[in-house]
Amino acid sequence: MRRLALRMSGASDRDDVIQESLAAAWRKWSSYDATRGTPPSWLLAIVADQARKLQRRRLPIPTRSPLDDAALADHPADIDLERAIATLAARQRLAVELYYFLGLPVAEVAATMTCSVGTVKATLSQARARLHDELGTEFR
């Protein structure tokens, strides 16, 4: 939960997103449906939703908080990748975050995003194509 909240909202808002997510999970526990996914994927979906709500409340709407630039200074390719990921559509960005950065299997990503496995695969494919266009062939 912490990693997803950090990647979607930044260090300054991470704890707020987690707190709001846990409160929402507590309120909505009776609506949890085990046939639609595991409790961890349900919680990650709530975290993603709370992070998006926080972003919508802000003006201008941040697409994503970059990682610590000092930590990335030695790796310009990482900075380029972070910037390219920030240009993705919200759904593509969420799929990339869950699959590549949190290491969830496609089935868990699908449960978290409340869509089919095929939709996740298509979304990831579109995101990779967009990143390839943004970054060029050196990032294959």
pLDDT at 74: 56
Structural domains of the chain, with CATH: 2-139 (1.10.10.10)
How many beta carbons lie within 10 A of that of residue 124, not counting itself? 18
Q: What share of the chain is helix, strand, coil (3-state, %, to 5)?
A: 75, 0, 25
Mean pLDDT of 23-28: 92
The position carrying tokens 């930590």 is 71
pLDDT digits (tens, 9 = 90+) for 47-93: 988 988 887 776 443 444 444 455 545 556 667 788 888 889 989 99
Query: Do residues 47 and 1 make contact, with C-beta atoms less than 8 angstroms apart?
Result: yes
Residue 130 φ then ψ, to 5°: -65, -45
User: What are the residues whose beta carbons fall under 8 Å from the beta carbon of 89, sequence distance 6 or more?
Assistant: none
Burial class (CB in 10 A: 0-12, 13-18, 19+), 134: middle
Q: What percent of the chain has pLDDT over 90?
A: 31
pLDDT at 37: 82
Query: Do residues 53 and 24 make contact, with C-beta atoms less than 8 angstroms apart?
Result: no
pLDDT at 64: 44
